[in-house]
Amino acid sequence: MESLFRSPVKETLFRSSSKESLVRSGSRESLNRIESDNAGPMFDPSSDIESETEDSVSNVEGLGKEQLFHRLRRMEKSLGNYRGKYSELVTAYRTVQRDKEKLQVGNALCHFMFEFCLFLLPPLAVICSTIIFDC
């Protein structure tokens, strides 16, 4: 039974982020590394927008009409993607706010019922005790 509580950190094999080579590591470390590998790529929209803006501003002067038109379409598509993500975010926020309001109303109702029961219990206890003792 003691071995269950005092097991040393075992070395195990897990796949690295490249999924091709195997790396030997402690079991706790491997769990943390696997979780961070599965977290997915981090997305920083501000840096993405800044890099697109820098690219488009620095190279606009030497471009032809077709290339400018192509860049405009690409930027419009990117803007549409950001609008879609923003509207999804707003919808999710509003849903959370509605749920929060429902919980607050529910909590207020529960509190009212609790106070109401506390108000009624002493008279009911007296009535019940008189009925029991009268029998």
- Kindly report, residue by residue over 58-106, the tens digit of the pLDDT: 667 778 889 999 999 999 999 999 999 999 999 999 999 999 999 999 8
Q: Evaluate whether 56 touches 40 at the Cβ level (below 8 Å).
A: no
What's the pLDDT score for residue 10? 47
Does the pLDDT of residue 116 top 60, yes or no? yes
Q: Is residue 7 part of a domain?
A: no
Share of the chain above pLDDT 70, in %: 47
Entry pTM? 0.42
110 lies in which domain range? 65-133
User: What six digits make up the tokens of 72?
Assistant: 């405009």
Q: 120 falls in which pLDDT band (50, 70, 90)?
A: confident
Q: Is residue 128 part of a domain?
A: yes
Determine the Cα–Cα distance for residues 75 and 92; give it in Å rounded to an integer. 26
Q: Is residue 15 part of a domain?
A: no
Mean pLDDT of 3-12: 48
Q: Is residue 77 part of a domain?
A: yes
Alpha-carbon distances, residue 82 vs 34, 46, 49 (angstroms): 30, 11, 10
Q: How many distinct structural domains can be found in the chain?
A: 1
Q: How would you class 113 by CB atoms within 10 Å of its CB: exposed for 0-12, middle for 13-18, buried for 19 or more?
A: exposed
